[in-house]
Amino acid sequence: MTGTHRSLTREEAAARADLLRVETYRLQWDLTRGDEVFGATTSVRFRSGTGRTFLDVRAVEVAAATLDGAALDPGTVVDGRLPLDLAEGEHELRLAATMAYRHDGEGLHRAVDPADAAAYVYLMCFMDAAPTAWACFDQPDLKARVEVEVLAPVDWTVLGNGAATALGEGRWRLAPTEPLSTYLVTLAAGPWHVLRAEHDGIGLGLSARRSLAADLDREADELFTLTRQSFDELHRLFGIRYPFGQYHQAFVPEFNAGAMENAGCVLFRDPMVFTSRVTRDARIGRATTIAHEMAHQWFGNLVTPRWWDDLWLNESFAEYAGTRVAADATTYADAWTNESYVRRQWGLVADRRPTTHPVAGVPGVAAPDAAAALADFDGISYAKGAAVLRQLAGRDDTVFWRGVTDHMERHRFGNATLADLVGSWERAGAGDLSGFVEGWLRTAGPDTLRLDRDAGAVRCTPHDPQAARRSHALAVATGPDWRTERLVVEGETTPYAAPAGAPVVLDPAEETWALVLPDPVTLAALPQVLPAAPRRLRASLWNQLRSAVHEAAVDPALVLDVVAASVPTEGDEDALARVLPWALRAVVPHAADPEAAAQVVHEVALERARAADPGSSLQLAAAQSGVAAAGDVDLLRSWLTGVPVADGLTTDTDLRWRVLRRLAVLGGTDLAELDAELAAHRTAQTTTEHARARASLPEPEAKAWAWSLFTGGTASSSYELEAAGHGMWQHDQVELTEPYAARYLREAPATASLRSGWMLALAAGAFFPVTSLSRTTLVGVRELAASADLDAGLRRPLLDAADDLARALALREAFPSTPSTPSTDPAPPVTP
């Protein structure tokens, strides 16, 4: 019964919501039935009108089902649905089933720790996954209280939405919850290492795998401190107490997302329990994620959108609040600058693709089902939505938060829509927001802003000429002293006289959402002016330069000149941590001489690392890219044998595997050495690094092994699968991997039988032939994406990857001194 199911449509959800009022789920999970399956018993109490509907359940076997004591036929379950004929009144439905553990980060996922072979399970119910773990009415607007009992191995600890009580002999009971949407129900069970604390009457908890105990202990002070600071600031902003009792943060293995906001028990991917030294960039990312998930407890959990196409509200709001709280209430006051380097391009790139979509669902064209809505959880839903909300808050912060609080109070433990939130803001004093909603939330794509010096104007080109016009209130900075003045850009042309020959930066503080491209005079001046520009302005300039590369509007040689000029004196590790890897990925392969271009990055990164304070985070950020760009095998091997990359920088586990990964790409190591390194220190982290390094080897056997992970011939964890995909495709191994481009077109569609949802798209993206820079590949991908029988979960990643490929080709064609593209002749098949 687990094989097929139909994704719930919006129309079906609306009909079921009209018919039902769900009151309580009582769930019993038996986790003692072995490694493959578990028992799940659901008792759900609900009221209904008279009509026909269905319960969602995707089980290995339904042992029994009753409705108000009368037996139901388990054989009627089709496509994951148990049909129900209901009379008006109160009902109790009971269903006992055997369910299968999943290994793709969704449903009840089971993972085995490579470090000690201990098993762990956790429940991820987001987007269609809940029915693989328990029978339910799976849609966000049928909230109910949840009571849970668990039978687990006697040496396990059980965690969940409510505080857990051990009853003895492996039996656990979780405290009943407030009304929750089904996608917010969670469970985490295994031999966890658990830490407890308290703040302002709220019980706090942290947990991670037993093998990470020492690392969690070391990180716990910062994690608890960030949690306390975020609670205080969120209480101040919302004016409403945290409503879900305990607050536990569980760091779990093989998790697909960064985190999931389950009420009272948030799941994080456990690489966020740092086991090696990390940059400040990584710590800011963790801090904003912690605050992001905490903001969800109000915006998303206390009040939940009615349907999936309004879930952008959850993510956009949490994205905005998470960065704001980290910047205002924690030690990471530079979180907004970090956000500029880390998130803004993610959103702008997504918003310029053919698959762009409005931030908010448009009436009449909303996501037809849950599977379709999942594809729209991207940089638009997060980064663009957050930027738009920040613009609204910038109008009047007091009114913004007064409206949010009104929204929370009106719909407490219920569901709401964008119209409800807009109504709260307007009642709070925001005025008529219809133009704002239409222009910024329901219009896809960014406007493009350019300085036209000859015309003495700023030109604004809308992404969609037929869409609502937007105005852009921004600053203009003029170098070299970077004085600023205000400008409102309205219509296609706004007068602005730029000083002759001076560099000019539009929107230097990134106050609006637009694609801003530097004019030729400013571009030419960047090697001189960017290194000395103020920190916030440098972030904006780097983003504009990154956009120019994406739009094929700047020569890669100029970008390398900017890198060479700026990196040796760069004092912002956000720039080093983000710009250098971007240059290696997006610029170096398209330079006239990629090997020489990589050497430029290598030399300036090492120069910066060796000039930095020994042991500093800035030194580490520079050194990481110095390693990634290295072309000297002997130098790399010296770093494995005790010579530090830079004085004061310890070659710990993470840095050591970065060196091994680069050696693998260059052919400076082999599988035997990688296997020996893994055997000497086997953890989840090193197992993943081993997979990426192995796939990076310039050997047919390595590529065949990586491909077998993609096509299902070799089992792996989700982290190993993704790592192998990224390792497989190397720009200096094109002759070796080019035949797999044709295989990707033939074999990728069949992966929909191996994976679903999040993992299907993730694997398709990781294994996309990014180094096959040919028109033949581009045409083939577009034809495949247009296939009517292609699984919907594959179409979006293919379209996005095709857009990236087209832009890489456009960059090479615009600047023909870049390397010639591979042959467009059809590639012969490869037999592993």
Q: What's the confidence (pLDDT) of residue 639?
A: 97
Could you count the other beta carbons within 10 Å of the beta carbon of residue 333? 12
Specify whether 293 is catalytic: yes
Report how far residue 526's alpha carbon sits from residue 536's, in angstroms, rounded to the nearest whole number. Answer: 15
What is the mean predicted confidence (pLDDT) over 602-622?
Answer: 97
**How would you classify residue 412: left for phi > 0, otherwise alpha for psi between -120 and 50, otherwise beta?**
beta
What tens digit of pLDDT does each residue of 49-98 get? 999 999 999 999 999 999 999 999 999 999 999 999 999 999 999 999 99
pLDDT of residue 598: 98
Give residue-wise pLDDT tens across range 73-84.
999 999 999 999
- The amino acid occupying position 250 is A
What pLDDT shows up at residue 312?
80
Q: How many CA atoms lie within 13 A of 643 on its CB side?
A: 7
Is residue 655 within 8 A of residue 686, CB to CB? The reply is no
Please report where in the chains the tokens 């495949």 appear, as a residue. 784
Q: pTM for the complete prediction?
A: 0.95
CA–CA distance, 491 with 356 (Å, rounded to integer) = 22
824 has a pLDDT exceeding 60:
no
Give me the mean pLDDT over the 728-753 stretch: 96
Across the strands, what pairs with 24?
45, 145
Residue 778: CB partners within 8 Å, gap ≥ 6? 802, 805, 806, 809
In sequence order, which ranges of 365-479 are alpha helices (DSSP H)?
Answer: 370-375, 379, 385-395, 397-410, 418-425, 434-436
Q: Go through 595-630 and write b for each residue having 16 or more CB atoms within 10 A of its CB, e for each that does not.
A: eebbbbbbbbbbbbbbebeeebbbbbbbbbbbbbbb
Q: Is 282 exposed, middle or buried (0-12, 13-18, 19+ CB in 10 A)?
A: middle
Out of 2.170.190.11, 1.10.390.10, 2.40.50.100, 3.90.15.10, select the CATH number for domain 316-441.
1.10.390.10
Model pLDDT, residue 127 = 83
Name residue, tokens 């018993």.
41
Q: Model confidence over 207-228: pLDDT tens digits?
A: 999 999 999 999 999 999 999 9
- Residues whose CB falls within 8 Å of the CB of residue 504, separated by 6 or more in sequence, listed in order: 451, 476, 477, 478, 479, 498, 519, 521, 522
Neighbours of 73 (CB within 10 A): 10
Interval 334-338 mean pLDDT = 96
Q: Using CA atoms in the order 75, 76, 82, 85, what is the torsion angle rounded to 10 degrees?
A: -130
111 DSSP β-pair partners: 120
Residue 634 has pLDDT above 60, yes or no: yes
What the block records as the tokens of 791 is 């699984």
pLDDT level of residue 822 (50, 70, 90 thresholds): very low
Q: Whole-angstrom Cα distance, residue 186 to residue 262?
A: 6
Per DSSP, 584 falls in state I
- Contact yes or no for 810/721 (Cβ under 8 A): no
pLDDT at 828 over 70: no
Say what percent of the chain tops pLDDT 70: 97
Model confidence band, residue 3 (pLDDT cutoffs 50, 70, 90): low
Q: Residues 178, 254, 261, 293: which is the catalytic one?
A: 293
Name the percent of the chain lying above pLDDT 90.
92
Tokens for 161, please give them: 């939405």
Q: Which of 370, 383, 375, 267 is nearest to 319 (CA)?
A: 383
- The full set of domain ranges for the chain reads 1-105+120-154, 316-441
Query: How many Cα neighbours within 13 Å face the side chain of 264?
Result: 24
* Structure token digits, residue 658: 């970065």
The yes or no reply on domain 1-105+120-154 and CATH 3.40.50.1820 is no
Both tokens of 645, joined, read: 């990359």
Torsion angle of the four alpha carbons 85, 88, 94, 100, in this order, in degrees rounded to the nearest 10: 50
Residue range 547-553: mean pLDDT, rounded: 97
CA distance 571 to 628: 20
Q: Which strand (E) or helix (H) includes residue 468? A: none
Min mean pLDDT across 165-174, 514-523, 823-832 is at 823-832
SS (H, E, C) 254-266: CCCCCEECCCCEE
211's CB contacts (< 8 A; 6+ apart) are: 113, 115, 116, 118, 683, 684
Residue 269's pLDDT band, with cuts at 50, 70 and 90, is very high
Would you say residue 814 has pLDDT above 60? yes
Q: pLDDT of 108-136, one tens digit each? A: 999 999 999 999 999 999 988 999 999 99
Rounded average pLDDT over 279-299: 97
Tokens 């469970």 identify what position? 187
In angstroms, rounded to a whole number, what is the distance separating the alpha carbons of residues 741 and 738?
Answer: 5
Q: Has residue 707 got a pLDDT over 80? A: yes
Dihedral of CA atoms 707, 713, 714, 719 in degrees, nearest 10, equals 60
Give the 3-state secondary structure of residue 586. Answer: helix
Model confidence at 827, pLDDT cuts 50, 70, 90, reads: very low
Alpha-carbon distance of 518 to 100, in angstroms, equals 54
Q: What sign has the CA pseudo-torsion 771, 777, 782, 788?
A: negative
- Residue 413: which of 141, 200, 183 has the closest Cα? 141
For 136-192, write each residue's pLDDT tens digit.
999 999 999 999 999 999 999 999 999 999 999 999 999 999 999 999 999 999 999
Contact by Cβ (8 Å): 492, 461: yes
Task: Return the pLDDT at 364.
Answer: 57
pLDDT at 823 (0 to 100): 34
Structural tokens at position 403: 């409206």
What SS3 class is residue 318?
A: helix
Extract the tokens encoding 87: 């009379």
Mean pLDDT of 402-420: 97
CB 122 within 8 A of CB 157: no
One-letter amino acid of 290: I
Q: How confident is the model over 453-463, as a mean pLDDT?
A: 95
Mean pLDDT of the chain: 94
Taken in order 109, 293, 302, 512, is the CA torsion positive or negative? negative
Q: Give the pLDDT of residue 589.
A: 97
Q: Is the pLDDT of residue 237 over 80?
A: yes
